[in-house]
Every structure is written in structure tokens, then in C-alpha cells.
Amino acid sequence: MNDFNIAILGCGTVGGGVAKIVLEMADDLNVRAGKRVTLKKILELKPAEAINRFQIPANYFCGGGKALSKEEAGQYIKEILDDQDIDLVVETIGGSNDFIENLAISVCHAGKHLVTANKALLAERGTSIFEAAKINNVSIGYEAAVCGAIPVIKTIKESFTGDRIESISGIMNGTSNYILTMMQREKMGFAEALKLAQENGYAEADPSLDINGGDAGHKLIILIKLAFGLDVSKDELSITGIEGIDKSDIEFATEIDSKIKLICFAEKTNGKVYATVCPMMVKNSNFLAEVSGATNAVRFVNTYSGLHILVGAGAGSSETASSIVADIVFAASHAKNNHEDRHAHVDVEITDALDYKFPYIITFETADIPGVTGIATTSIGKQGINIDTVSHNRHKTDRAIFSIATMPCTLNQIHAAIAGIKEIRPDMLLAEPKIIPILY
């Protein structure tokens, strides 16, 4: 049996989980890969925590388990890249700066397969890395970059090769989903739910990327490339986080038989792809409405095979590490030429979010004066928008809050309707109306 040697760069929560699984499952992995999958080196600046947390013998670490300076780490990286016996490098350092991009490219140029969970890197700088892999005929495994333990990437690249994906919708950030679940289930405010998420380890001390939609956006960019062959930058993607969701939104969602979720959505129609990451009011008839806590779920609608839903843990040390180990085994067994995306198209382009038709709920905060609902509905109707439902007014001191749910229309129509309201009654709106899509 031939050897298949790996090195791990970065041994934190995910990298440590990878090392633990590779060491504990050695016999099983050897059988599945048809080769001896051997952990040869781990690079970590401060390995003591990983040694204790994951029970990894110190001799696996560059430097024998002692803390390393950045200069020492750089020399060890060079040794790993020059080592002809190392077949694959796992990158779990994280980040998407020049250093990490150059490191990933260098791994490919060294003739080694690359496995990473780094969604930001692939979403923002993936083109150069995939090109380097193609030139050097090595593979890139990145299942763990999207929804952790859920096999989303392999499903698209392998299971759906005989079909055409029409739309993707999903909950791809566990932190935001946990917060929204607590707001819905426990009637918490946003700040209280965020604090609880941090206390329970679901949110970082700085939760910005999770709650502002950035993390979910990176994942959707990767899926858009795979499913539709379209390179989309983060600037081209419409992204809205959950920071603005409050108790009134939760109440309005309940009124229309829905739950609020941070949704990644992409749909291809007539050669154009509409894509967004934003809070949506998901109808309870849609399975995604019932996905609670930190769980992730991805929903595909295909031309021939119809509806598919993948559900599972989207983060966590062992969960994410298991996806990385699966990519290692795949590379060991038959991953040559697995460097390019096979769902490539040249006839698609991103469409302006303002022109895409979606049902929406518009929440108005107005002065508590007679006729405000009529003024709003009339202005909406003048833009050719059909109204589905109108909520009752929630009166709070000298103001009123109410919502109007529309049938499918464009954001351009809604913006024109709001402009019409401002023209008729400049004193009516106390804040910009909140516009949230409704997902059936």
C-alpha cells in the first residue's frame, strides 16, 4: 500500500479536529483511500493548546511542540512545500489576505493537493488559486468551506451533473439562525439573543461577519460559481444582515404564517442570475422555516429531479473537520484533474436586484394620523403592485407601525411607491420603510 502524506497548516478549532480524526481513524481511512493516509507535519505558532485539547502528540508539530516565531514558521512552510514526500496540504489558518492567497498558490505550484475550509479566500480570491491548481494538475478540496459537514459541494459537482440547478435557497450561517430562533421562540430582542449566542459559543466576540451577512455571502458566491458557472464578486451581491430585525418584524412574520431567516438565494432565469443574502420571511410551508438553532440547510430546485434539501451542522470542530478529511480521502484515491468547476456556463450574467420580482412585506413606521394605511395602499397600487395582506396598526405613543404584504413585484416598484407617499404626505413617514422578501 502506497503512502499518502499530509501536512496541516494551522491547528486551531478546525485544524486540530482534522488531526484528531486522521490519527484516530487511520485504519479506516487507509482502507477507504486505498493508501496509507499519514499525518506527517503540523504547523502551528502556539501548539500547546492543540496538544492538550485534541491530545495530539507533540512530535507531529514543526519544532517539536514549542511555540514558533513567524520567521520560524515561514521556514517550516518552505520545508513542507519542498518536501517531495508530502502529497497534500490542509490550510486551516484562515483569512483572505495576500499571504494566504500566495500560500495556497504556492501549495499548488509545489505539486501538492490543497484542502481548505477557507470560504472567504475562495470567494474573494479563488480564481487565481484554481488556475494554479489547473496548471499544476492538482486538486482543491473545499467541501468544508460551505456549510461545514453538509456535503453541498460534492452534491453539486457529482450528484447533479445529470441535471440543471434552477434555484438555491438556504440557511448558511448558524450564528444568525440561532439568534433569529431565540428572537422567535423566546421573544428576545436582538441584543439579548446575540449575547446568548456569544455565551453559548455560537457567536464570536466580534460577530460582524455572521450578523451582517458577509459569511453567508462568501458561501453563496462559491455556490453560484459551481451551480451557474458565474463569477460574482461580493460587491455585485446584494447583502443585508440581521442587525435591523426587531420584535415587530417577528410579530409581522407570525401574522403571515412565516418565520424570519437569513437566506442565501440564487435563481437562474432567462440567462440571468438573481442572487441575494438577506433576512426573509419564510412561509411555514417551506421546510427552511423549521430549521432552528445553529443548524444549516440548503434547498435546491432542479429541472429534472425537482426539490432537494440538505440539512446538518454548518460549523464546529469535528463537523467541519470531517468534511476536510473526506476531501483528503478523495484526493488520496482519485482526485487528479479535480481542479476545475464542471458546471461552467458562458451565457449567464448577474441581474440587478432592483428588477427581480419577489413578494415583499413592507413595514411602515408613521405618525399616528388618520388615513395612513389608505395613503400607503393607494401609492402601492398606483405602481401596479397587487397587495396580499395588510396588518393591523400597532399604536405606540404618537406613532403607528403596520405592514403590507405584496404579491410579486420589483424593488423599483416599491421604491417608487415610497417616493409617492413622501410626495403626498412628507410628514407621514417617521423612518424609511423596512422591505423584507417573502419566501414561499
Which one is catalytic: 20, 119, 219, 225? 219
For 248, the enclosing helix (H) or strand (E) is helix 247-255
481548505: which residue's cell? Answer: 116
DSSP class of residue 46 equals: S
Is there a contact between 383 and 360 (Cβ–Cβ < 8 Å)? no
- The total of other beta-carbon atoms located within 10 Å of residue 357's CB is 13
Q: Where are the beta strands (DSSP E) in 21-79?
A: 36-43
To which H or E segment does residue 302 belong? strand 295-302
What distance in Å separates the CA atoms of residue 95 and residue 426, rounded to the nearest whole number?
47
**CA proximity to 136, closest of 157, 107, 115:** 107
Compute the C-alpha angle 138/143/148, nearest 5°: 150
Residue 272 designated active-site: no
CA 12 to CA 16: how far, in whole Å?
5
Euclidean distance between CA atoms 293 and 296, whole angstroms: 9
Q: Where are the alpha helices (DSSP H) in 110-173?
A: 119-136, 152-154
Phi and psi at residue 227, in whole multiples of 5°? -80, -35
**The three grid cell numbers given for residue 181, joined into one nine-digit string:** 430562533
Q: What angle do CA 395, 396, 399 make, to 5 degrees?
A: 80
CB atoms within 10 A of CB 233: 10
Say if residue 64 is exposed, middle or buried (CB neighbours under 10 Å; 0-12, 13-18, 19+): exposed
Cell numbers 493516509 label which residue?
37
Torsion angle of alpha carbons 283, 285, 291, 292, nearest 10°? Answer: 60
Residue 207 contacts residue 242 (beta carbons within 8 Å)? no
Catalytic residues: 219
